[in-house]
Structure 1
């Protein structure tokens, strides 16, 4: 689904940056973020003394349903680490490790990688087998395929299962599903977005910022929206980089700073945001750096920004043939920096 980067026109007001609002107190309807669950493994278990057998250090006594819930959103490295805690955990986590194998094959069939042809049916079957063994990662991928197949109710059901087990991607996808519903369930969507955002999911942070910016399902707050844009931008989300630049440029929710606006606009451009490439090219042109301006304008033109082509052609007429060839060579060899989109 294509989404607008900047949701609405400025109302002309300027705000200074404020700290994040505290998370709403009423969170009883939602599960804790997965990040909180993972902290269980941060400490090294104490070895029980020979004279006493403290139940607090008896990891084998942890009920399977609790253990499986904790490990539901684990990746393979985390599962391997948890399996080393004790024999009971190793045995209990066997279905999760099997789920990782099905998850791997599901991705191969979905994208046609690893020497296999793309096959959506086989991919879905693999993801469902992984989901049946308790992996939220497989649940989210199964939900995505159902969604792409137009079976949205089944997709949402898998998103919800993953979300309730604390998976940030499941929480984010479930929230977006609710926002796209007819009629939209904005109140519940915002709740899930907050959970995923506090867990560090950058797409959820960007979506939450859009809702706060628009006042959709939550009170409009440019200050909090700008803070979430900024956090998602720092996490590598390209659209958030562009919006963070605009916030700094216009002084909406952040202290106005042309230097920081230019910094984030360049970052967005270097990560492949076509509108940012156009606007950064404009900035370079105004500064007299014609060569670099042409490179960014050419990139924007190739990405479909038509106004960039007109300005680029004007600048090219002012450059020597050598400079024009050099600029096109730089554009041809350009590669976008990796991002989390």
Structure 2
């Protein structure tokens, strides 16, 4: 039976764990990337005297790429320059909305995966990590895993926890598997409270896959999933 590993939508709750067959020990998962406040993004914010509206779009995207529509609308009301700067991401939300309609046949439209993917990609091109993840989901479902992983990776690097989780799961299924990278991204998503990532990361700790076996930590993380 083909095992489902991805949620039906970017914020879905249905998931199954991946089977882990090969085991080896690594401890490098502790050396995760530093929080973005120490990155070039924060340096550019300081150099612009904290004026969010002066940031170039690539830096703005690192900050707001994973914003939902209410977040974008609220930020856009701060001032005219913020509104203009966030315009591409607001446009991305419209493409994301239409993509979901075409994917699930909602809002008076018939299901059309081609149009759904086209809409998600347009949203992704405008910087939305939510659209990147949904486009990645469709690519994975149709078997184009390289394109799916590329989108997950882009979303993950922009701080999207669903992108980080899906990238970790994809690396676990890679041939050959990239368990060290998988654990790194699952750990990143787990820190932000992503339930699927916590569940899979706990399994990695329990089975010593890509990380040193640590039953005590595995139990602790499992309890976070069961008793949020």
TM-score normalized by the length of structure 2: 0.81
- Structure 1 residues 90, 5: closer, same or farther in 2, change over 3 A? closer
The yes-or-no answer on 1:226 pairing with 2:213 is no
* Paired position in structure 2 for 1:321: none
Residues 50-129 of structure 1 mapped to structure 2, 5 A cutoff: 56-129=49-122
What is the alpha-carbon root mean square deviation over aligned residues?
2.7
What is the distance in 2 between the residues matched to 1:107 and 1:141? 8
For residue 55 of structure 1, report the CA deviation from its aligned partner: 5.5
Which of 190, 193, 204 is matched with 2:197 structurally?
204
What are the Cα deviations for residues 217-275 of structure 1, in whole angstroms up to 9, with x where unaligned? 1111111111111112234xxxxxxxxxxxxxxxxxxxxxxxxxxxxxxxxxxxxxxxx
Residues 210-249 of structure 1 mapped to structure 2, 5 A cutoff: 210-235=203-228
What is the distance in 2 between the residues matched to 1:205 and 1:191? 12
- Structure 1 residues 33, 142: closer, same or farther in 2, change over 3 A? farther
Which of 131, 143, 147 is matched with 1:154 structurally?
147
Which of 167, 171, 175 is matched with 1:174 structurally?
167
Are the aligned partners of 1:171 and 1:195 in contact in 2 as well (CA < 8 Å)? yes
For residue 77 of structure 1, report the CA deviation from its aligned partner: 0.9
SS in structure 2 opposite 1:131? helix
Q: Higher Cα Rg: structure 1 or 2?
A: 1
What is the distance in 2 between the residues matched to 1:233 and 1:156? 29
What is the distance in 1 between the residues matched to 2:53 and 2:85? 9
What are the Cα deviations for residues 92-137 of structure 1, in whole angstroms up to 9, with x where unaligned? 1001000000000101111111111111001000000000000000
Residues 180-195 of structure 1 mapped to structure 2, 5 A cutoff: 180-195=173-188
* Paired position in structure 2 for 1:27: 32
* Paired position in structure 1 for 2:134: 141
Q: How many residues align?
A: 202
Which structure is higher in RCO with an 8 Å CA cutoff and minimum separation 6? 2
Are the aligned partners of 1:33 and 1:196 in contact in 2 as well (CA < 8 Å)? no
What is the distance in 2 between the residues matched to 1:132 and 1:6? 33
Give structure 1 stretches of 5+ with no counterpart.
9-22, 41-53, 236-341
- Structure 1 residues 71, 214: closer, same or farther in 2, change over 3 A? same
Give structure 2 stretches of 5+ with no counterpart.
5-15, 22-28
For residue 147 of structure 1, report the CA deviation from its aligned partner: 0.4
- Structure 1 residues 79, 160: closer, same or farther in 2, change over 3 A? same
* Paired position in structure 2 for 1:49: none
SS in structure 2 opposite 1:183? coil
Are the aligned partners of 1:106 and 1:126 in contact in 2 as well (CA < 8 Å)? yes
TM-score normalized by the length of structure 1: 0.55
What is the distance in 1 between the residues matched to 2:17 and 2:191? 23
